[in-house]
Structure formats: structure tokens, C-alpha cells
Copies of this chain bind each other. A is one copy, B any other.
Amino acid sequence: MHVADIAEVISNVPEEYAVALIRLLSEDVRSDVVAEIGPEERGKLLELLPAVEIAESVVNKMDSDDAADLIAELPLEKQSNVIKAIKNTEHAQDILDLLTYDEDSAGGLMAKELVKVKDHWNVSECVVELRKQAEEIEEVHTVYVVDEYEKLIGITSLKKLILSSPQTMIRDISKTDIISVKSDVDRKEVSRIMDKYDLVVLPVINEINQLLGRITIDDVVDVIVEEAEKDYQMLSGISEDVESSDTVWQLTRARFPWLLVGMIGGILGAKVIGIFDQDANPALMAFIPLIVAMGGNVGIQSSAIVVQGIANQTLSGSIAAKLMKEFGVGIVNGLLCGVILLTVNLAMDLSLDFSLAISISLVCVIIFAAIFGTWIPLAFHKIKIDPALATGPFITTANDIFGLFIYFYICKELVG
């Protein structure tokens, strides 16, 4: 059974059994299995294991990045007990080092395990070194070449080592135009770089170019999936990361905040209607759902396109140019919808005046929603607020209120 499958089984049994299963696993796979268990289930398991056991039978054989992630999840006191109990001092030092980085940065993603050789060595010296270093590294994707000051000056591959004669100098088979990141680069930027350059592994360096660690693609895939899920949840008005298997209470807590925003919007909407309802045509009321639905839909479409453009960096041109384009899209979609609604309303024997007024205000609501839905996430992005916040209920709620105002104002002017 693959470690990921064992981890899946362990995640799905009661905690006492899970702990027993973990203790039954052979030492070779135990740390890999624990590294694969989701943070939530793992937290519960680790509570049941004493610090010494975590250090000796789990963390000891774990890659430094996974070990640091696991330890960071523990309560503070237990963290230091686990680290103290790690017998391999170098490993403990690596973990302590990694714990200092922000978890959303390149430093927080990297592992310390890598194969490093000196540039003045030849291939056979490298193979000797490789034998020493490679034991604890499962997958050697790249061999890093450093100078005497530990500065990263090249990379080479195992393929080149195999195909070159033992006396070949490493510097003659290494590539010097290396793509690397500094440790404080944001993880989203890391994932963009690895995706753009099709990298399987990316070296992390410090300010003076010294090699600190490496980031592997599997960790970046997790980042991509998490970021996509976060944006998806924002768009759907969910404020915390939840799954359908979470408790009713967790689900409620994640969903209530945006419902509250929607409700405040609804109460303000009632106020807007209150301003107009004394002297408005009662028949106008029937089209309120249509007006708010169209404003909301257009606003969500516009904001989603902007947020996706920001996320995959395809957004180009000035803000003014983008607003002008949205104005164009708004006019075309608005006119299409307006004409259809006019036809339907006339076919239903509504008066021409009244039907025209409703359609004209619909066109205005759609144009406004398109521009507003484009502008808000751009403005958020400019002032360093996550633009994804401006996608879901935020934009629909704002458009509901403005849309109602536009609708009643125009209809009142046109048909009294």
C-alpha cells in the first residue's frame, strides 16, 4: 500500500485506532504516512502522542519542510519539547531554521534536503559526495553547484553526471543561468514562477545568493489548489476554508458573515424602496427581483474576470481602458436584455411607456453593474486588499442597492 493510501485509511478511523495504526507502521514509512495526513486529523492524533514519541518515531525521519509544518501545528510548549527530543542535532537545527520563515513565503515552502557539490570538483568526487548526501533524499531532481562561500553558482542533473566521464569538471557540465527565488518571496509568486518555467524544483537563496533550500513541485501544487479554493469560496460568499464534511457549527460560522452583509444590503434596499414607494407606480414592484438579479449577475461576472486576470497575471492596460471596455460589454449586453424585456412586456400587454421605462432602467443598471464590478476589485488590488473579497456577496449587495435606486429614479422620471 502506498503511504498516501495508508494516510487516507488512518484519517478515516477513530483517533485511538489511528494512533495504534501509526505505532504499528514500520519506521521506514511512518513519517511519510504522517506527512500525508491532513492537518486537521493530524492535530488530533498528535495530541494523543507524547512529545518524545513524536520526535523519535515521526519527525526524526521526516523531510525538514514536512517536519517544520507538523511542529508548527503543535501548541508552543509541545513544540519545544519535540525539538529538544530530536536526537539528530543537524535535523533539529534545520527545523528550527525553517520555523523562522513566514509560512506563506518561499522559505516556508522549502526543504533543507538537497544535493550540493563544489564547483571545483570533478564528476567522480561528486558521485562520492552524492553517495553520502543522497541517502536521506528520496528524489534528487537537481544537483546544486556552490562556491566556497556556499553561493549558488550553477545546477546540473544526474543525467549529466552519468553521461560524463569521471574526470570531467563539474563546472563544465553545469548550467549557470539559474532560476531561483529569495526566501521572502510570496508563495503565489513561487507557484507562478514554477508554473511559467515548467520547473519541478526551485532553489531558494538569501540576499547574498547563498543556497538555503529547495521547493519541490508537489508543495506548489498544493498552493495552487489552496489558492484556487480560496478564491472560489470568496466568490460563493464563504469566509473560511470549509468542507462539506465539517460540522454544522463550522459550516454556519463560515457562511454567516456574508449572509449578514447580504441582509444589511436587503435592509438598505428596503429603505431605498421606502423613499420611492409613496408616489411610485405599484406595478414597478413586480420587476424588483429582475433588476436586482441582473445587477448582481453582471457585477459578479465583471469582478470574477478581473480577479482571475489578477491571479494569472493576464491583466494589461490602464484601469481607464478596462472600464471603457466594460462599458462596451455593458452596453451590448444591456441593449440585448433591454430589447428582449421590452418585447416580452409589450407581448404581455403592458403599456409602451411603462415597458420602455423598465427596459431603459435595466440597461442603465447593467452598465452601472459592469463598470462597478470591474472597478471595485481593481481598486482593492491597488490599495493591497485581496480583490477576491470584492467578488461574491459584496458586489451583489452593493449592486442591489445602487440598482434599486437607479431603477426607481429612472422610472419615476419617465412614467411618474
- 12 residue pairs from A and B, CB less than 8 Å apart: A4-B196, A4-B197, A130-B163, A140-B157, A236-B301, A237-B297, A251-B305, A260-B337, A273-B288, A274-B286, A282-B282, A293-B396
Encode contact with B along A245-268: 1 for CB under 8 Å, 0 otherwise.
Answer: 100110110011011101101110
Please determine whether B270 and A289 come into contact, CB atoms closer than 8 angstroms: yes
Q: Bound complex: CA of A329 vs CA of B243, how far in Å?
A: 13
Q: Bound complex: CA of A304 vs CA of B306, how far in Å?
A: 20
How close is A325's CB to chain B, nearest CB, in angstroms? Answer: 6
A180 within 8 A of B: no
A39 within 8 A of B: no
Of A16-24, A76-84, A314-322, the one contacting chain B is A314-322
A371 within 8 A of B: no
Question: A341 contacts which chain B residues (CB < 8 A)?
Answer: 263, 267
Of A94-102, A104-112, A145-153, A222-230, the one contacting chain B is A222-230
Question: A265 contacts which chain B residues (CB < 8 A)?
Answer: 289-290, 293
A37 within 8 A of B: no
Please determine whether A337 and B297 come into contact, CB atoms closer than 8 angstroms: no
Among residues of B, the one whose C-beta sits closest to the C-beta of A194 is: B221
Q: A244-B306, A263-B341 are in contact. Are A237 and B197 (CB under 8 A)?
A: no
Among residues of B, the one whose C-beta sits closest to the C-beta of A142 is: B139
A9 within 8 A of B: no
Q: Bound complex: CA of A218 vs CA of B298, how far in Å?
A: 34
A122 within 8 A of B: no
How close is A155's CB to chain B, nearest CB, in angstroms? Answer: 12
Q: Bound complex: CA of A159 vs CA of B301, how far in Å?
A: 50
Question: A222 contacts which chain B residues (CB < 8 A)?
Answer: 195
Question: A309 contacts which chain B residues (CB < 8 A)?
Answer: 243-245
Question: A396 contacts which chain B residues (CB < 8 A)?
Answer: 293, 296-297
Q: Bound complex: CA of A269 vs CA of B242, how far in Å?
A: 32
Q: Bound complex: CA of A99 vs CA of B169, how far in Å?
A: 43
8 closest A-B pairs by beta carbon, nearest first, are: A266-B290, A236-B304, A269-B289, A228-B228, A158-B158, A270-B286, A198-B218, A285-B285
Please determine whether B293 and A270 come into contact, CB atoms closer than 8 angstroms: no
Question: A400 contacts which chain B residues (CB < 8 A)?
Answer: 289, 293
A212 within 8 A of B: no
* Neighbour of A139 across the interface among B157, B238, B325, CB < 8 A: B157
Question: A159 contacts which chain B residues (CB < 8 A)?
Answer: 130, 134, 139-140, 158
Q: A198-B218, A221-B221, A243-B309 are in contact. Are A297 and B163 (CB under 8 A)?
A: no
Please determine whether A162 and B157 come into contact, CB atoms closer than 8 angstroms: no
